[in-house]
Chain A
Amino acid sequence: MTAAAVLEAGSFRDPAGRVFSAGKQILRTVSPVAAQQFNAASQSGVLRRLVDAGRLVDFADVTEQAASFGLNDAEVLLSHPRIPFISYPYEWSFSLHKAAALAHLDLQLDLLRDGFALSDATAYNVQFEGVHPVFIDHLSIRPYQDGEIWAGHRQFCMQFLNPLLMWSLLDLQPSAWFRGSLEGIAPEELAKLIPLRKRLSLTVLTHVIAQAAMQRRSVNKAQGSASYRTAKLPRNGFEGMLDGLRRTIAKLEVPSHRTVWGDYANNTSYSSPEMEAKHRFCSEMVSAVQPDLLYDIGCNSGDYSLGALNAGAKSVVGFDFDQAALEVAYRRAKDASLPFLPLWLDAANPSPAQGWGQAERKGFAGRAQPDALLALAFIHHIAIGRNVPLDMAVDWIVSHAKVGVIEFPHKADPMVQTLLSQREDIFPDYDHHNFARLLGERARIVRQIDVLPTRTLYWYERS
């Protein structure tokens, strides 16, 4: 029996095809108008080479099954494996965003050598397996026409270059802006923020300042881009632009992240009896559940995410608010090629469902179905740091997975006392007996353990 094909709401922009979710598979229809270009790319062997190199998500031609899914209009029907977690650029750390940008440029450069080009430069077409970037849109790859302009140039600037420049030049995290402006950050906007002394780079001068000036001028003259449609970019110029951007982006780093690496190296060998007890407890839960996907909410630099992988979790998505911790987590995942993706999350204000029809980009809740979760040294940040009543905080955490381990730092714990040091204690409900009662009303407490006199871990399981 075939699962029903459900349209993915984010796949409407390019009329070349649509994406559907059907049980464990992802389906992609190729419209008659795009089939010729897809067949050219497919028959050339370029798509298969990219899949084999782990740079393009795998695909199989299942056109003969089109009728069974009710997708009769498809000229070609493709089936893809499901990526464990779809993430968006406003959830990426600096290093993830940079890796995605470099992967996009490398793909363009390599495709060009094979006579192909990308029809766009949207960052939403890059996803991550672990922290390894993978391109997901097979229909963006089409034959290159000699002398054609780089149609995705402005989009590349808005979704890759400008957020990275903002982060690197201004030490300003672009996530909130990007999340509010799904097309990215326009050169005209970024140009206003960059001080004179930081403009003295060829990349900033051309791709940001000059492009902004030309764009503003064309808008002021009310001249549409139609009259410029015939513009030409010689192939070596195209390659030169891609190569120049690649060199610039490869060197970008965030000033405030620089000290992180040193601190990380000094801290990794540290381990306490408390941490060992936590590791053992979490490992027992993970070994029992054997999750395909585990969320580590408040993952920090990924200590317990890595522990979960060692205990048998197939993939882990970690979430944290601290960008410096996420950078360390990224490095650990990358160095050991782990199926661990650390993402940025403000748990008190997670990514909403937004874009066209408020469905184009999915919200945090329900984006994936993790089989288990960890929420260690986390709940006090929302219950006390953000005033979320304890029952609502428990509701939120257990809503994401049926099984998990939650750490409850008691009010007397130094972590909690630090949060309370600057404010009045208006949290009479924040109490470990009350927490155990609230959790017990929502789930069965499988086991619990005091890893310190002021910290208790609960393994819960709900129906």
Chain B
Amino acid sequence: MNGKTVVSLIGTLAMLAVAAPAYAYLDPSTGSIILQATIGAIAGATLFMRTFLYRIKSAIFGSKSSTDK
């Protein structure tokens, strides 16, 4: 499977996920939309795991501030 096929496949998958369009004046552009449809699930899972691990760590070692400003 070459790069082009992968991108086409991702694009098709992205189009299959359907939601009501929101009021928007900004054109989000195609590259960004395909990317979001692709990495959105991964990003969500990563955040879930991070929060989950943080909770376990806090439960064992006591809570600490996690801000990084």
Contact = CB atoms under 8 A, between A and B. Distances in A.
Q: Do A and B interact with each other, yes or no?
A: yes
A83 B5 CA distance: 51
A215 interface: yes
B52 interface: no
A315 B21 CA distance: 44
A387 interface: no
B56 interface: no
Interface stretch (A67-75, A238-246, A281-289, A424-432): A238-246
A214 interface: yes
A240 B45 CA distance: 8
Tell which of A151, A155, A207, A236 has the most Cβ of chain B within 10 Å.
Answer: A151
Interface residues of A, number: 56
Given A119-B26, A225-B33, A232 B18 contact: yes
Nearest to B43: A240
B23 interface: yes
Contact of B24 (A119, A212, A215): A119
Contacts of A151: 22, 24, 26, 28
A280 B31 CA distance: 58
Given A151-B26, A240-B45, A187 B31 contact: yes
Nearest to B4: A217
A102 interface: yes
A192 B26 CA distance: 26
A8 interface: no
Q: By CB atoms of chain A within 10 A, which of B7, B24, B43 has the most?
A: B43
B40 A238 contact: yes
Interface string B23-62: 1111111111111111111111111101000000000000
Given A239-B44, A240-B47, A16 B25 contact: yes
A440 interface: no
Nearest to A235: B44
B19 interface: yes
Interface residues of B, number: 42
A64 B68 CA distance: 44
A214 B30 contact: yes
Contact of A228 (B30, B40, B44): B30
A247 interface: yes
A213 interface: yes
A149 B15 CA distance: 12
B27 A240 contact: no
Interface in A143-181: 145-155, 157
Contacts, number: 158
Contact of B31 (A102, A142, A211, A250): A211
A154 B31 contact: yes
B17 interface: yes
A156 to B, nearest CB: 9
Nearest to A142: B23
Interface string A229-269: 11111101111110110010011000000000000000000
B1 interface: no
A422 interface: no
A153 B28 contact: yes
Interface string A108-140: 000000000001100000000000000000000
A155 B6 CA distance: 25
B27 A225 contact: yes
B40 A237 contact: yes
Contacts of A229: 21
A170 B14 CA distance: 33
Interface of B: 3-4, 7, 10-11, 14-15, 17-48, 50, 68-69
Interface of A: 13-16, 37, 102, 119-120, 142, 145-155, 157, 187, 206-207, 210-219, 223-225, 227-234, 236-241, 243-244, 247, 250-251
